[in-house]
Structure 1
Amino acid sequence: MQKYCILKLIGSKMLSPLRPARSAFYSTIKCTGFSMEQCNSLSSLSPFELRKLIRAADPRIKTTTGLAYGFQQANVLVLPSALSKDFEEFCGKNTAPLPLLYVSKSGEMSCTPLAQHADIRTDISQYCVYEKGKLLKTVSNLNDYTSPLKDMVCFYLGCSFGFEGKLKEAGVPVRNVEQKKNVSMYRTSVPCVPAGVFQCLLVVTMRPVPAQMLDIVVEVTHLNPLAHGAPVHIGDPALLGIQDLSRPEYGDAVEQQPGDVPVFWACGVTSIEAVLTSKPALAFTHSPGCMFVTDLPDSSSCPSSSSSSPLDPNLTPLSFKLSQNPLFYSLASKRALHKIRQLENIIGEDPGERGISAIFLPDELLLSCLALSHSSSVLITTGFPTHYMHNPPDETDGPPGAIAMANMLLSLGKQVTMVTDRRGLQLNQDIITEAVSSGVLVAPVPLVTFEDNGPDSALNFLCHNGDVNKPRYDHLVAIERSGRAADGNYYNMRGVNIKHLLDPIDNLFIAAKDIPGIRTTGIGDGGNELGMGKLRERVKNYMPKGELIACDVPADYAITCGVSNWGGYAVCCGLFLLQSCPSHQRYLKKGLGLKHKQCKENGLNQWSSGLPSVEKEETFLSTLMHFGVRSGKTGNLAMEVDGLTFHPTHSDLITRLLQVTHST
């Protein structure tokens, strides 16, 4: 019997064979000349050997998931030559779903940089044929289309199957392979960045991952950007517009196991969505899950680049859980994490000797900054009327940090609103106006008040028409805001009740706990501030008069610091670091949009202008003095905060925060 080829097996373990009917199985052996043992070893075959089987229409190869471990796989899109420039630009603007491995010349059927002896007409197990954006049929080869292919360009795009082998090596269960299923693919509500005639919604794959293995998964996939790289979303699918994981648009529903978290990667099937919306006269794609197997190792090197540098290990992302309802994780690089922890250590210093270290929780600054980075509309409140015998009764700790955060958030393009007590409305309006006039604040910030007129007042304030699905704000921040104690009163550090000077803004933080789309941050330096309820047991046990003064209202994130203003400054610096972190920005933008380097160059000056500075903070403190706002600890009408003079204590600390922020 004549054999068309002789295959060299590179292993014997079969992972998940697809077992055809016996007659078809033996006919495959006959036509290829393989032994029974060889045909049962699909998972150990080389890419060349797999392409040979696919070309021979081996019935066992339905999809390529679980095959060609150690090698890149490719999504394939074939378009008329006239559309190739537009689609190449579309890929460049949406690199996560559409990582280009190779773009053929017009009419080129092979792809030598990716695979030797390959033919795009025969080396995919199933193709889709589209005419004017409609799926006409699926075929096992494109031989009948050789003539139109002569004026078409083939795009080879990275595929997430290319990292499944590395996940397996790292001990991560790959559920779709375990369950012998095609991976789940979903159309999201996230629009890709358009280019030319191409625009569509992002498609993602989902793999359930044990929660304790998320960092391993993130790191492994980050190292393979040509296979879509790190995840673009971890957690609740509804945040991507996916309503039902059991009904994927493409592929199979993959079941989660107890303790699993849904993890989503950008998907090359986005290219199929682009065909459906752009409606070219004729187009061909792989059938989802039926990939082109390349000879490229599953590494980060790019075949189209003559030189490629290894990925910076400091940019390796780590995952951080931000909320349980909805379940949501974010990513930040090791470098950003290290710097934000440095910021947290600096603001944790205690020159006033309050014993703040006893109520410190690590990484609250990081988590708050990550959540604020994902936010679009932020509500900020401050105001601690500790000087109840003076008019105004407010102190210089709080407003500077609040205005600094507002300025940074505005610089990042977020909506910012401030809520204050009715008694202080005019004072705070005048302070904001002066801050804008003096250049401390880049633009005016709307100032509102909150009144408790009934059980739904807070809900109606926070959400349009009281609908929890339509929140006005997605993050509430309280900095040095007097917080309600367990007995319903509000106490300064001396244990004096100042409830008569405060509106019940605490109710907003309480209501926010039941609104899934809103996160909350509290910043304080004594434990009696709004949001410090997260630390109330520590405050009661370790802070002076803790049993009496401890705030009972928690925030999701509680940032403790030697002076509350410092927490506001650190949030600004942390946001700047995340804005400058390519790992975080890629996740934030779902891998869509301009390349991070270009974004960074365009936005660096704007982001830097949002940071606090010694000059701006000195100017703003002078403004507070002008309006009669006093130092918290001493009551002095002077350039001091909490009894600590601006120079050198506060000015030096700001300088140190900025040095960490700008350090390389």
Structure 2
Amino acid sequence: MVQKRLVNKNTSLVFKCYQQANVVILHKSLADDFEEFCRVNQSPLPLLYRSQLGDWSCPPLAAAADIRTDCPQYCVFQKGQLVDKVADLKSFAPQLQDMVVFYLGCSFGFEKALEQAGVPVRNVEQGRNVSMFRTTVPCVTVGRFECPMVVTMRPVPPSQLDAVSQCTHPLPEAHGGPVHIGDAALLGIQDVSRPDYGDPVEPSPGDVPVFWACGVTGVEAVQSCKPELAFTHSPGCMFLTDQPETTPLADPSECPLTFCISQNPLHYSMASRSAVERLRHLEKIIGEDPGQRGIEVLFVQDELLRSCLSLSHSSSVLVSTAMLQALGKQVTMVSDQRALEMNRGIILDAVEKGVLQSPVPLVCFQGAGPEAAMQFLCHDGDPKRPRFDHLVAIERSGRASDGNYYNMRGINIRHLVDPVDDLFTTASTVAGISSTGIGDGGNELGMGKVKDRVKAHMPKGSLIACDVAADFAITAGVSNWGGYAVACGLYVLNCCPVHQRYLRRGLGPTAPSPQQQRAWNTSLPSVPKEEEFLSILVKYGIRSGKTANLGMEVDGLTFHPTHSDLIQRLRDATLAPRTDGSMKCSRISC
């Protein structure tokens, strides 16, 4: 058994070769509920061992252990209030006879792995306990246990975010991978220099705050439950096991990769390597150019991926696709005033034919300037209270540098469109609102992100190039294909355990229910649905943008076989089972 009596009570600075554990000791009447609480909140509370009633030893974790003395310091709670901190629990031996001990995983267990990967661990460098924060993220409630999640924070250089995620993700008993990377305010933390537990840790210039679930959540759970008597370890003063840390085997297909999806506020997302590769394949498919427009010069790597990651984190989207409805997002569609009634009819017909699951709220924007746009986008025009967190434009003519709107033939159509561009330009000034533009020629709203390429390479580019940028500019051979790919990409992400765990902050189930899976499958683009929708558009007199034909074609390309074949390829790529190949388990490089 390792020697556990410490002069320095911060166990993160010693015994790095051994697993460490958080400790919660509760009356037997609460034990079953707390075990279930740990099960449904596995990331903050990874249960290593539950003792027998009145048992002070811990055979699976340490030989000859005695929980009354083996933590450097303990917290004593009465009716949820911290009443004392003590060096041992010997004086409580009679009460412990009716109590159960829970040993929970600790993030100190992965700090050695980070150091071996060359990742600086700032709290260790500074000789301090890790910073721990109470968040506004609620754990899943069980019985009387209802509390927010607690997280640890370690500042990390941005170039090493993939490394820290890959080192920690395969260690679920030490809380696993990060649950948030970026602005602390997104977790409800107002000041990272003032932790609720532990010590403040100084970041180096350029460091990004990275947050992991923390076992001190168990302390919050005890306080919320208000038992007559309970004990926990004192934060940072862990139970040291005899179990050596090991480098786990991991599936390289599930290796997590991180991507910045917002600078205001700073926010990173995460997905598995296999999901990322699948989204890149979708992006390659829609980048084909059957109309010979030369759109490959507008392509920006991973715009589809980053847009889908951003949309996956969104809750309220303006202008979007049916897949977002299936994912439980609030979806609103904006229409030009002149087409409002026609679009209402199209939506109702689409619902009746099963193309859409339910009607989409339809609005229009005819205001002028940033003030009107701010009123539209935010409650009472307050930029701190946005109504939407993502805007999507698909194949919508955008404002050119001369203030006009042009189609691909260079015809000015300003009299036909409302100034929706103002929503995108104003959204770029509001923290928390992201935007996506999908186009196939460079005149579309949002494609201002690549306007220099449009002007240099596209026919009439200097005239038609949209001047309004979106955060993400998805280029496709036909704009509709970009919309299909977004729906498929969201499906991929929602079937990705790595992304789902991160999206849920490590709380609750990560696997979709059968009902959710069926809803997502139904919402994927399909040849019959898209053919039905195109027939609805023909019924309402909507003509092909390139030829002005009233028929089953888009941009001069007939639905069969061009569009139908591509839709089927996107669907097959989305639903295809994984191949074996490189998917065998191997040790993570870090």
> If the TM-score is normalised by the length of the shorter chain, which range does it land in?
over 0.9
* Structure 1 residue 313 displacement after superposition: 2.0
Structure 1 residues 184-583: aligned runs within 5 Å: 184-299=131-246, 310-380=249-319, 405=321, 407-453=322-368, 455-583=370-498
Equivalent position amino acid for 2:402 in 1: D
Equivalent pairs, count: 577
Partner of 2:2: 49
Q: Are positions 1:622 and 2:535 aligned together? A: yes
TM norm structure 2 = 0.97
Distance in 1 (alpha carbons) for counterparts of 2:571 and 2:242:
48
Larger Rg: 1
Instruction: Choose from 621, 625, 638 the match for 2:551.
Output: 638
**Using the alignment, how far apart are the partners of 1:583 and 1:476 within structure 2?**
25
Give the root-mean-square deviation of aligned CA atoms: 1.0
1:9-48 map, 5 Å: 48=1
- CA distance in structure 2 between the partners assigned to 1:378 and 1:152 by the alignment: 50
Q: Is this contact kept in 2: 1:226–1:300, CA < 8 A? A: no
Q: Report how far residue 72 of structure 1 moved.
A: 1.5
Instruction: Give the drift of 1:300.
Output: 7.4
Aligned to 2:584: none
Q: Map 1:99-118; keep pairs closer than 5 Å.
A: 99-118=46-65
Map Cα deviations across residues 118-154 of structure 1 (whole Å, 9 max, x no partner). Answer: 1111110000000100001000001111111111111
* Shift of residue 454, structure 1, vs aligned partner: 5.2
Question: Deviation string for 1:584-633 (max 9, x for gaps)?
Answer: 00000000012x23x34442111111111111000000000000001111
Compared with structure 1, are the counterparts of its residues 600 and 345 closer, same or farther at alpha carbon in structure 2 (3 Å cutoff)?
Answer: farther
Counterparts of 2:233 and 2:15, CA distance in 1: 17
Partner of 2:20: 73
Task: Report the counterpart of residue 129 of structure 2 in structure 1.
Answer: 182
Structure 2 vs 1, CA of residues 601 and 316 (structure 1 numbering), >3 Å: closer, same or farther?
farther
List gaps (5 residues or longer) in structure 2: 578-590
Partner of 1:27: none
Deviation at 1:447, TM superposition (A): 0.4
1:223–1:299 CA contact under 8 A, matched in 2: no
Measure, in 2, the Cα distance between the counterparts of 1:70 and 1:210.
25
Tell me how far apart the structure 2 counterparts of residues 330 and 300 of structure 1 sit (CA, whole Å). 25
How much identity, in percent, do the aligned residues show? 63
- Report SS of the residue matched to 1:117: coil
Residue 516 of structure 2 corresponds to which residue in structure 1?
Answer: 603
Letter of the 2:90 partner, please give it. N
Deviations 1:245-271 (A, max 9, x none): 111100001011012000000000000
Select the structure with the greater relative contact order (CA < 8 A; seq sep ≥ 6).
2
Post-superposition offset of 1:298: 2.7
Equivalent residue, structure 1, for 2:561: 648
Q: CA deviation at 1:296?
A: 2.2
Q: Distance in 1 between matches of 2:477 and 2:576?
A: 23
Rounded Cα–Cα distance in structure 2 between residues aligned with 1:299 and 1:242: 33
Deviation string for 1:617-650 (max 9, x for gaps)?
0000000000000111111111000111111111
Whichever residue aligns with residue 442 of structure 2, its letter is G
- Tell me the secondary structure at the aligned position of residue 100 of structure 2: strand
Any conservation in 2 of the 1:580–1:600 contact (CA below 8 Å)? no
Contact 1:224 1:299 (C-alpha < 8 Å) held by counterparts? no
Query: Which amino acid letter does the alignment assign opposite residue 398 of structure 2?
Result: G
- Output the CA distance in 2 between the equivalents of 1:83 and 1:457: 55
Q: Does 1:139 align with 2:139?
A: no
- Which amino acid in the other structure matches residue 233 of structure 2? H
Contact 2:331–2:361 (8 Å) recurs in 1: yes
Q: C-alpha deviations, 1:61-111, integer Å up to 9, x for none? A: 221012222322100000001101000010111011000111111111011
Distance 2:314 2:42 in 1: 23
Q: Is 1:94 the counterpart of 2:74 in the alignment? A: no
Q: Secondary structure at the match of 2:549?
A: coil
Can you list the C-alpha shifts for 1:260-313, whole angstroms capped at 9, x where unaligned? 000000000000000111101110000000011112233477xxxxxxxx5422
One-letter code aligned to 1:539: V
- Given candidates 68, 78, 86, the residue that maps to 1:121 is 68
The one-letter code sitting in structure 2 at the alignment partner of 1:523 is: I
Q: Mark the runs of 5 or more structure 1 residues left unpaired by the alignment.
A: 1-47, 302-309, 381-401
User: What is the distance in 2 between the residues matched to 1:195 and 1:573?
Assistant: 35
1:319 aligned counterpart, secondary structure:
strand
Amino acid corresponding to residue 418 of structure 2 in structure 1: D
The 3-state SS of whatever aligns with 1:65 is: helix
For the residues of structure 1 that align with 2:122 and 2:195, how far apart are their CA atoms?
15
CA contact (8 A) 2:33 2:142 kept: yes
C-alpha contact (below 8 Å) 1:66/1:164 kept by paired residues:
no
Partner secondary structure for residue 391 of structure 2:
strand
For the 8 Å contact 2:2–2:241, the answer to whether it is kept is: no
Work out whether 1:164 is the aligned partner of 2:79: no
Structure 1 length-normalised TM: 0.86
Letter in 2 for 1:328: H
Instruction: Give the conservation status (yes or no) of the 8 Å contact 2:370–2:422.
Output: no
Cα separation, 1, equivalents of 2:421 and 2:3 = 64
* Other structure's SS at 1:547 match: helix
Question: Alignment partner of 1:49: what SS?
Answer: coil
Task: Note if contact 1:366-1:574 (Cα within 8 Å) is conserved in structure 2.
Answer: yes
| Alignment of 1:152 onto 2:102 | no
